[in-house]
């Protein structure tokens, strides 16, 4: 099979398309013929020796990437919930070694859900890690409720665009930060108020927030604390300076501060599949690239302007 192997950590020139043996499955696993791959900031961080890089220290070949949609071609005997031929999607082995940048990927069956028939493979691959992160932050950690005032930072991004929709579906009042050029996009997702993060200071405009999803971190986190209700919850998923962040949270006696790392989860994926099937969650794929252009796709996410998600498609 073809795989986009990372020879060593560093720039996109370290990727090389290689012919390698198809991976073998063990108990609890399925083999997926990959039809689409979602690209995330963690892919880029890992390529740059951060993110999940430590997980690859003993790997024979570094195949990164965690978000897949595809068709099951092999199945371990003990897997009862799926069959060969099923169309599935999910984030595989996060945190851990992903292996999604390949024509075939091995996945633990319990991390997958069936792809709803009304969405395409690229849309499915775009609704995995970012969607799981939004779900786990807002529902599992934040316990957001109808009527809550919710602030989503980076609303036009991979995680933010799903977080807006989930909060809106629950009946929250949704405020988001985004670039001015993305204002119409985030409003179309259900944002009630949009704050241009480049020209406005959100802490001078809003207050009394019940729940904040901070996708930025650092100074943005410190400023966010100013608008959080005393009993409110803030979930942080991006940590440019974790020691400083923890210090500030402690000094300001923030009780409901949660530093979150998302995880692969088939049950959460089934909730996401339901929302995609009933139309309450929409996918925005900004751009697709063919498999051999994974380096270009990473370059766009790292250095360009993206609305929603970038996806790799395979024949």
Ligand X SMILES: NC(=O)c1ccc[n+]([C@@H]2O[C@H](COP(=O)([O-])OP(=O)(O)OC[C@H]3O[C@@H](n4cnc5c(N)ncnc54)[C@H](OP(=O)(O)O)[C@@H]3O)[C@@H](O)[C@H]2O)c1
* Footprint of ligand X (CB under 6 A): 40-42, 130, 133, 153-154, 156-160, 177-179, 182, 197, 215-216, 220, 237-238, 260-262, 305-306
Between 1 and 183, name the residue whose CB sits nearer to ligand X: 183
CA distances in angstroms from 122 to 52, 58, 103, 286, listed in the order given: 24, 31, 14, 11
Q: How far is the CB of 258 from ligand X (least distance, A)?
A: 11
- The residue of the chain with the least Cβ separation from ligand X equals 157
Between 17 and 242, name the residue whose CB sits nearer to ligand X: 242
Residues 6+ apart with CB under 8 A from 176: 151, 152, 153, 154, 155, 160, 164, 186, 191, 193, 194, 195
Q: How far is the CB of 263 from ligand X (least distance, A)?
A: 8
Nearest Cα neighbor of 69 from 91, 47, 98 is 91
Between 172 and 236, name the residue whose CB sits nearer to ligand X: 236
Between 59 and 261, name the residue whose CB sits nearer to ligand X: 261
Q: How far is the CB of 33 from ligand X (least distance, A)?
A: 26
- Pull the structure tokens for residue 149: 């005032």
Q: How far is the CB of 275 from ligand X (least distance, A)?
A: 18
Q: How far is the CB of 305 from ligand X (least distance, A)?
A: 5
Q: How far is the CB of 133 from ligand X (least distance, A)?
A: 4
Query: Distance between CA 101 and CA 5 in Å, rounded?
Result: 8
Between 28 and 304, name the residue whose CB sits nearer to ligand X: 304
Between 23 and 51, name the residue whose CB sits nearer to ligand X: 51
End-to-end CA distance of the chain: 13
Q: How far is the CB of 157 from ligand X (least distance, A)?
A: 2
Between 101 and 202, name the residue whose CB sits nearer to ligand X: 202
Nearest Cα neighbor of 285 from 275, 271, 270, 300 is 300
Q: How far is the CB of 130 from ligand X (least distance, A)?
A: 5
Between 9 and 82, name the residue whose CB sits nearer to ligand X: 9
Q: How far is the CB of 28 from ligand X (least distance, A)?
A: 23
Between 104 and 202, name the residue whose CB sits nearer to ligand X: 202
């Amino acid at each position: 099979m073809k795989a986009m192997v990372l020879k060593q950590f560093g720039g996109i020139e370290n990727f090389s398309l290689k012919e390698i043996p198809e991976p073998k499955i063990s108990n609890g696993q399925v083999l997926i013929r990959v039809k689409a791959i979602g690209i995330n900031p963690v892919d880029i961080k890992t390529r740059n020796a951060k993110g999940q890089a430590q997980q690859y220290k003993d790997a024979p070949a570094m195949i990164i990437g965690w978000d897949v949609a595809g068709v099951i071609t092999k199945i371990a005997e003990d897997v009862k919930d799926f069959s060969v031929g099923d169309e599935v999607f999910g984030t595989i082995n996060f945190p851990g070694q992903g292996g999604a940048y390949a024509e075939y990927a091995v996945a633990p069956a319990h991390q997958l859900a069936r792809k709803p028939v009304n969405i395409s493979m690229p849309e499915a691959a775009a609704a995995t890690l970012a969607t799981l992160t939004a779900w786990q932050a807002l529902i599992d950690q934040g316990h957001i409720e109808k009527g809550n005032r919710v602030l989503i930072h980076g609303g036009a991004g991979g995680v933010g665009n799903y977080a807006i929709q989930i909060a809106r579906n629950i009946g929250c009042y949704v405020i988001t930060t985004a670039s001015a050029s993305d204002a119409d996009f985030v409003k179309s997702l259900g944002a009630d108020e949009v704050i241009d993060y480049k020209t406005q200071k959100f802490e001078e405009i809003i207050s009394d927030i019940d729940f904040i999803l901070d996708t930025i971190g650092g100074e943005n986190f410190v400023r966010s604390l100013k608008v959080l209700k005393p009993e409110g919850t803030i979930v942080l998923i991006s940590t440019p300076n974790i020691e400083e962040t923890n210090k500030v949270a402690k000094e300001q006696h923030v009780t409901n501060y949660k530093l979150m790392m998302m995880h692969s989860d088939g049950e959460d994926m089934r909730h996401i599949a339901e929302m995609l099937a009933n139309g309450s969650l929409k996918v925005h794929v900004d751009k697709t690239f063919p498999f051999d252009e994974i380096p270009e796709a990473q370059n766009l996410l790292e250095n360009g302007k993206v609305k929603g998600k970038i996806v790799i498609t395979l024949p």
